[in-house]
Amino acid sequence: SWVTIGHPSVVEVMAQAGFDWLAVDMEHSVIDFHAAQTLIATIQAQGLVPLVRVSENHPKIIQRVMDAGASGVIVPMVNSKIEAEQAVKSVKYPPKGKRGVGLARAQGYGLKFEEYAAHVNDESVVIVQIEHIDAVDHLEEIVSTEGVDGVMVGPYDLSGSLGCPGQFDRPSVLAALSRVETVCRGAEMPLG
């Protein structure tokens, strides 16, 4: 589920509800980096997987939430293979990516860097959001991008890109959603 209120008690309540993972939403909330790190730590303390929906597909933003201890990111508005590759490279260390090395919370402030680096490239999660008709048109390329672990549809933005925001029963929106489902199933790509 999504965390849009930046208070650790919200995470504790949601953890009791039985979720496996929680996503801290930094795109459509007022949660900043400091609050995100606190929420990530609280999610982990509750035994859940912390993901962060970043505000944009930018290496510095992604690096900061990963350094704060996120297990992965949900990246909005990924419309092409190049943008999918950028998201993956921002999460992964070389040689799989281009993420800079920091010694923050995720790396035990330097004391656990080797341990963190040994698993982050293989265990971190990159979920791309399909929120525009351009993404639907390039979907096969996006889902075939090495390192993309899942897809989430952003139905409001997708319908908006078709000129009918929030009108999910329109034939153009239904066709786009159907295409996303068909392509993801065919690629055995997890879809939300």
Catalytic residues: 28
Residue 110's region, left for phi above 0, alpha for psi from -120 to 50, else beta, is left
What 8-state DSSP symbol labels residue 112?
T
Q: For residue 155, what are the contacts with CB-CB under 8 A and spacing of at least 6?
A: 168, 173, 177
- Residue 153 tokens read as 């549809």
- Residue 55 tokens read as 């505000």
Place of tokens 């199933």: 185
For 140, list phi and psi in degrees, rounded to 5: -60, -40
